[in-house]
Amino acid sequence: MIKKLIKSRRAIFPAQYNQKPISKGDILEVLDAANWAPTHKKTEPWRFKVLQGEKLVELGVFLSEKYKETTDKFSEFQYNKLRENPTKAACIIAICMQRDPAESLPEWEEIAAVAMAVQNMWLLCTEKNIGAYWSSPGLIKFMGDFFNLKEGEKCLGFFYMGYYDEPSPVGVRRPIEDKVEWL
Ligand SMILES: Cc1cc2nc3c(=O)[nH]c(=O)nc-3n(C[C@H](O)[C@H](O)[C@H](O)COP(=O)(O)O)c2cc1C
């Protein structure tokens, strides 16, 4: 049931991942789910970069060193976390948005379409018992120094993926009644 799946989707973090690899077939299915997100003017603005193995180590080194270079209040804990977290994932998919060159849509619509693609990925991961979450550190503004980003392409974060053994955390939301006005 789709409602049950939606409510059971949780952010599962690197500390919870075990070392089990994720098959290429599963990663491709997750990417295909993303590709079916709705999109205004059919711009299909989602772009993905799949990182595994040594690339995860490289990402950790890049993020931690960029942090050291740019922060004005360095913390050893944060440095180590940035360095190690990527290596705990079986796979990280960098979430990118390619702005339509004609700029026929406001940027927010392109970002919204990418976010819908990410929700598709996250729900399919939930169904496959793959832990996942969207990580969006401030350092993503420097990702053009790590990836070859095209003109108009922006990195919006990282979709971490990894199998996990512990039960999913319990979801918490404030009541929907507080967020709705019936007119
Ligand atoms: C656009 C977006 C960016 C996020 N960035 C982060 C992040 O940088 N760090 C983090 O711990 N969680 C991040 N999350 C995950 C949220 O923390 C998580 O979804 C929220 O706590 C609700 O938990 P649930 O998804 O398990 O219901 C992000 C989620 C979204 C949608």
21, 136, 158 from 130: Cα distances, Å? 10, 19, 15
The region that residue 42 occupies, defined by phi over 0 for left and psi between -120 and 50 for alpha, beta otherwise, is left
Whole-number Å distance, alpha carbon 11 to ligand 1 midpoint, is 6
Assess whether the C-beta atom of 10 lies below 6 angstroms from ligand 1.
yes
pLDDT score recorded for residue 59: 98
Write out the chain's pLDDT in tens, 183 residues: 899 999 999 999 999 999 999 999 999 999 999 999 999 999 999 999 999 999 999 999 999 999 999 999 999 999 999 999 999 999 999 999 999 889 999 999 999 999 999 999 999 999 999 999 999 999 999 999 999 999 999 999 999 999 999 999 999 999 999 999 999
Query: 85: how many CB neighbours lie within 10 A of its CB?
Result: 23
Pocket perturbation via mutation, ligand 1, pick of 7, 8, 78, 134 by most ligand atoms within 8 A of CB? 134
pLDDT score recorded for residue 118: 99
pLDDT score recorded for residue 132: 98
Closest-CA residue, ligand 1 atom 31, reads 134
Closest-CA residue, ligand 1 atom 16, reads 11
The residues near 44 (Cβ < 8 Å, ≥ 6 apart) are 35, 113
pLDDT score recorded for residue 61: 98
Reference 138, options 72, 91, 87; nearest CA is 72
Query: 16: how many CB neighbours lie within 10 A of its CB?
Result: 18
Query: 140: how many CB neighbours lie within 10 A of its CB?
Result: 19
pLDDT in tens, 37-75: 999 999 999 999 999 999 999 999 999 999 999 999 999
